[in-house]
Structure 1
Amino acid sequence: MTSEPKPKVTDGRRARRDRGRLTVIEAVIALFQEGSAPPTLQQMTERAGISAATLFRYFDTLDDLLHEATAAYFARFGGLFEIPDIGTGTPDERVRRYTDSRIALYEGIAPFARYGRARAFDHSHFAATLHSARGRMAEQVRDHFGGELAALAPHRRDGFVAAVCTLTSFESWDQLTHDFACTSDGVRTVWRHALTALCDNASPSPP
């Protein structure tokens, strides 16, 4: 005689817990986008409609919650990390697509990018995420400006990649927009002129 299957109580609890965690993460993301970076525990619980005790049943620490919210936010904007038609077109076209894509990315991720960089000094999760993102973006530079790199002596190629990455980093965008009050078009102009000069310097001289 076989027994009737028992209700999947555990699965139901897990599903409720997952929904609760997602609600908290979405609340944190919304608060960041509104300018609370990072939000306080009270702000997070009020926005999510839960108690502090419930929040800590979902997440071991606030750092764990904020790291998961940061990862979810970056995943949401994952498409902005890509460069359209990477590596194709004339040098001018590639410079324009590269600068446009980086500006769109930074405008999208700014609240969490600032927070993540601040926490990278004392939190290994944030440091690892930042290191991985920078490595990925450096590889994109190598792919997108492959023609310029091929024209350079091997010992100069890493310097070219480093120059492009540093020039168009989030830190550069943040300084231009805040310290120099540049609009998106202003940042675009600065970067295009500088990248064009780098690319022209890397191109072989005509015979």
Structure 2
Amino acid sequence: MTVVKKKSHNDGRKARSLKSREAIKKALGDLMSEGVRIPTAQQVSDRAKVGIRTVFRHFDDMESLFYSLHEDIKESEYGFLRQSIIEGPLEERVDAFLRARHVLYIKYREMILSTLSQLWKYQALKNTYEDLNSIFKQHLFLCLPELKGKDVPTQQFVEALVSFEAWNRLTRHQGMSRDDAKDLLQGQLESLLK
């Protein structure tokens, strides 16, 4: 005899609650990705099609919402960074490393710019930005271990050279194409690591 479990009222409520929570995080991510530099709780609420009280029933405040979104992105992109080439000739590794950064910078440009414009306001964003830079630094040393043998100022310069801020300046403010910026960074990086 097969026993069929009935879906309880609580199961449906939990599913709706989870759906609302995910919609709220997606709404925030979408707003930031569309160039909204300082999204408000009301904008998130409107985009997610939930009441403002629902937003704050799921998240204590905007800080916890930003943190939760960051954790989701980190989890989804960690595998991408792990696919980097960590063996082989320097030129191939530098090329693969910069291509990986290039993909992430393009994908998250507006979100990073939104984060940077709100660092003054939210400790959670300061913390998540520091976390992101820490992950990027680990990735840098994993892919390009030659850097470990360089002095600290050179290490810091390379870290700045491959940062989002440098890439964004080259491509947005100085008008370089993304490919030209990558080629420039690649040449500089290879000469510093040889």
TM-score, normalized by length of structure 2?
Answer: 0.82
Deviation, structure 1 residue 102: 1.2
User: Over alpha carbons, which structure has the higher Rg?
Assistant: 1
Deviations 1:24-51 (A, max 9, x none): 1112222222222333334322221122
Cα distance change of structure 1 residues 124 and 40 upon mapping to structure 2, 3 Å threshold: closer
Deviation, structure 1 residue 179: 1.0
Equivalent residues, number: 188
Could you say which residue in structure 2 is the equivalent of 1:31? 31
Could you say which residue in structure 2 is the equivalent of 1:204? none
Q: Secondary structure at the match of 1:194?
A: helix
Could you say which residue in structure 1 is the equivalent of 2:106? 107
Match for residue 187 of structure 1 among 166, 171, 181: 181
> Which residues of structure 1 form unaligned runs of 5+?
1-6, 201-207
Cα distance change of structure 1 residues 80 and 120 upon mapping to structure 2, 3 Å threshold: farther
CA–CA distance in 2 between the matches of 1:134 and 1:78? Answer: 13
Cα distance change of structure 1 residues 120 and 32 upon mapping to structure 2, 3 Å threshold: closer
CA–CA distance in 2 between the matches of 1:123 and 1:40? Answer: 13
CA–CA distance in 1 between the matches of 2:119 and 2:40? Answer: 19
Letter in 1 for 2:141: R
Q: Secondary structure at the match of 2:73?
A: helix
Q: Which has the higher contact order (CA 8 A, sep 6+)?
A: 2
CA–CA distance in 2 between the matches of 1:112 and 1:75? Answer: 16
Deviations 1:81-110 (A, max 9, x none): 346222x11121122112111111111121
Cα distance change of structure 1 residues 41 and 126 upon mapping to structure 2, 3 Å threshold: closer
Deviations 1:105-139 (A, max 9, x none): 11112122222233334433222222222223222
Partners of 2:170 and 2:176 within 8 A in 1: yes
> Which residues of structure 2 form unaligned runs of 5+?
1-6
Letter in 2 for 1:187: A
Matches within 5 A, 1:25-174: 25-82=25-82, 84-86=84-86, 88-147=87-146, 149-150=148-149, 152=150, 156=151, 158-174=152-168
CA–CA distance in 2 between the matches of 1:160 and 1:116? Answer: 27
Letter in 1 for 2:17: R
CA–CA distance in 1 between the matches of 2:83 and 2:181? Answer: 18
CA–CA distance in 2 between the matches of 1:99 and 1:8? Answer: 51
Partners of 2:20 and 2:50 within 8 A in 1: no
Could you say which residue in structure 1 is the equivalent of 2:4? none
Partners of 1:81 and 1:101 within 8 A in 2: yes
Deviation, structure 1 residue 198: 0.4
CA–CA distance in 1 between the matches of 2:30 and 2:21? Answer: 14
Cα distance change of structure 1 residues 108 and 82 upon mapping to structure 2, 3 Å threshold: farther
Partners of 2:94 and 2:190 within 8 A in 1: yes
Partners of 2:162 and 2:185 within 8 A in 1: yes
